[in-house]
Amino acid sequence: MSRRAVTVRSTQVAIIGAGPAGLLLSSLLAREGIDSVVVERESREHVQGRIRAGLLEWTTVELLREAGVGGRALREGLIHEGFDVAFAGGHHRLDLKALTGKTMLVYGQNELQKDLAEARSEPGAVLWEARDVTLHDWDQETPRVSYTHAGSRHELRCDFLAGCDGYHGASRAGLPRAGLTLYERVYPFGWLGLLADVPPLHEELVYANHERGFALCSMRSRGRSRYYVQCPLEDKVEEWPDARFWEELRLRLPERYSARLVTGPALEKSIVPLRSLVTEPMRFGRLFLVGDAAHIVPPTGAKGLNLAAADVRVLSRGLIEFYRNRSATLLEEYSARALSRVWKATRFSWWFTLLMHRFAGDPFARRLQSAELEYLANSEAAARSLAENYVGLSFD
């Protein structure tokens, strides 16, 4: 039986996964004349259709601009100078601008995904619908990626591999377990999210701590809102008809917000589990793990996308330094530099999750939450600490 012909191709950097991390890295390298090929399992439409978060730190916006893909985000995104925390029937505004001098940009991740894919739409830059993607020789001089595309086998030879294929990807999964340390925390609840073409109930985001559970009021534009309620992990979306969702959201919000709630049919509704996961190290020979392939944060505080962008910032500078001056110093420091920020964002997302969610059967924790929220509302030092982490810590 004849061995199926394998088409061999070479590039400088083979990138696995065309999510925000993979495409942003590919754009930044292209700006520097560094060749890369992105190998993605799903179709372009499928990846763009995923509803995810939509809150960008300003350092992420600057990196998008550096990659030449920030234009639409800045034109259509909403600049937010603060957000509200609601608790015990009252509310407190965190003035991010006054506390840190920085702001956030509200821009849907799926819109960003469209911009990033458009920027890498030249033929051969991204291989969509590539199947059976396998990484080889990541500990050798010339690593390879093999995959099936349009029914035939292909092999991509490269200098470096960037594993940007998310939590369920092939990159981390293909590594020897002995060389990895996984740090994980799983939270005993999920988030039920609903997207609807209704005007947001408030001009800024509202994070609500309530006896019935957490709620978040966010948006994608002045006409499209995104709401979340904390729900039991075992719940099914079918058990949450729109009316039940709206009623539960209303019950968890102080009157000043619930009185302004406009409801409507759900465009999308889904439940996500909450977990914190960090992989150490984030580099294995010539393979660099990036974004969700290396770490997961709970969505409280919207650090997932921003952390992926932060990894791309560190890795792109290392690869540019390598191809410009043949210096591998920054690449050797990639794992330590990226992990230093990953752990700080992981700590913040864990802390914010503990502060804002209801942990059943733990009255002591409930009292601690009330005390911490009171402290937050009355201490500039506490508010500044939250604000600094929320807008994104400066790079080392």
Site of interaction with ligand APR (CB under 6 A) = 16-22, 39-42, 47, 52-53, 133, 164-166, 168-170, 291-292, 304-305, 308
CA dist 322 and 324 (Å) reads 6
Q: Which of 130, 282, 302, 391 lies at the binding interface for ligand PHB (CB under 6 A)?
A: 302
* Residue 55 near which of ligand PHB, ligand APR, none (CB within 5-8 Å, type-dependent): ligand PHB
Using CB under 6 A as the binding rule, whether residue 283 contacts ligand PHB is answered as no
- Note if 207 is an active site residue: yes
Phi, psi for 326 (deg, rounded to 5): 55, 25
* Residue 213 near which of ligand APR, ligand PHB, none (CB within 5-8 Å, type-dependent): none
> Is the Cβ of residue 172 or residue 295 nearer to ligand PHB in the bound state?
295
> Is the Cβ of residue 41 or residue 91 nearer to ligand APR in the bound state?
41
For residue 101, the SS3 value is coil
CB 58 within 8 A of CB 105: yes
- Note if 210 is an active site residue: no
Shortest Å distance, C-beta 91 to ligand PHB: 17
- Note if 80 is an active site residue: yes
CB 152 within 8 A of CB 5: yes
Among 80, 210, 269, 357, which one carries the catalytic annotation?
Answer: 80
CA dist 392 and 389 (Å) reads 5
Give the H or E element holding residue 391.
helix 380-391
Q: What totals of helices (H) and strands (E) does the chain contain, helices first?
A: 14, 21
Using CB under 6 A as the binding rule, whether residue 300 contacts ligand PHB is answered as yes
CB 84 within 8 A of CB 91: yes
Q: Which of 20, 143, 200, 299 lies at the binding interface for ligand PHB (CB under 6 A)?
A: 299
Residues 6+ apart with CB under 8 A from 135: 16, 143, 144, 145, 161, 163, 170, 171, 174, 287
Residue 90 bridge partners (DSSP) = 87
Residue whose pair of structure tokens reads 């792109």 in the numeric block: 316
Q: Which of 77, 301, 318, 392 lies at the binding interface for ligand PHB (CB under 6 A)?
A: 301
The burial of 387, by beta-carbon neighbours within 10 Å (0-12 exposed, 13-18 middle, 19 or more buried), is given as buried
Please work out the total of residues on this chain that contact ligand PHB, with binding judged by CB under 6 A. 11
Shortest Å distance, C-beta 218 to ligand PHB: 3
The burial of 51, by beta-carbon neighbours within 10 Å (0-12 exposed, 13-18 middle, 19 or more buried), is given as middle
CB 360 within 8 A of CB 188: yes
Mask of contacts with ligand PHB, 219-238, x by CB under 6 A?
-------x------------
Shortest Å distance, C-beta 248 to ligand APR: 24
- Note if 143 is an active site residue: no
> Is the Cβ of residue 94 or residue 164 nearer to ligand APR in the bound state?
164
Among 303, 323, 334, 357, which one carries the catalytic annotation?
Answer: 303
CB 392 within 8 A of CB 306: yes
Give the interface segment with ligand PHB, choosing from 16-24, 300-308, 326-334, 368-376 (CB under 6 A): 300-308
Q: Which of 54, 77, 82, 190 lies at the binding interface for ligand PHB (CB under 6 A)?
A: 54
> Is the Cβ of residue 228 or residue 334 nearer to ligand PHB in the bound state?
228
Residue 185 bridge partners (DSSP) = 276
Using CB under 6 A as the binding rule, whether residue 218 contacts ligand PHB is answered as yes
CA dist 365 and 178 (Å) reads 37
> Is the Cβ of residue 170 or residue 194 nearer to ligand APR in the bound state?
170
Nearest to 341 by CA among 385, 292, 306, 384: 306
> Is the Cβ of residue 161 or residue 387 nearer to ligand PHB in the bound state?
387
Phi, psi for 390 (deg, rounded to 5): -70, -45
Among 107, 299, 334, 357, which one carries the catalytic annotation?
Answer: 299
- Comparing every residue's Cβ against ligand PHB, the nearest one is 218
CA 273, chain centre distance (Å) = 14
Shortest Å distance, C-beta 177 to ligand PHB: 32
- Note if 107 is an active site residue: no
Among 107, 187, 207, 323, which one carries the catalytic annotation?
Answer: 207
Residues 6+ apart with CB under 8 A from 240: 192, 231, 269
Using CB under 6 A as the binding rule, whether residue 55 contacts ligand PHB is answered as yes
CB 56 within 8 A of CB 305: yes
Among 227, 323, 334, 390, which one carries the catalytic annotation?
Answer: 390
Which residues lie near ligand PHB (CB under 6 A)? 53-55, 205, 216, 218, 226, 299-302
Residue numbers annotated as active site: 80, 207, 299, 303, 390
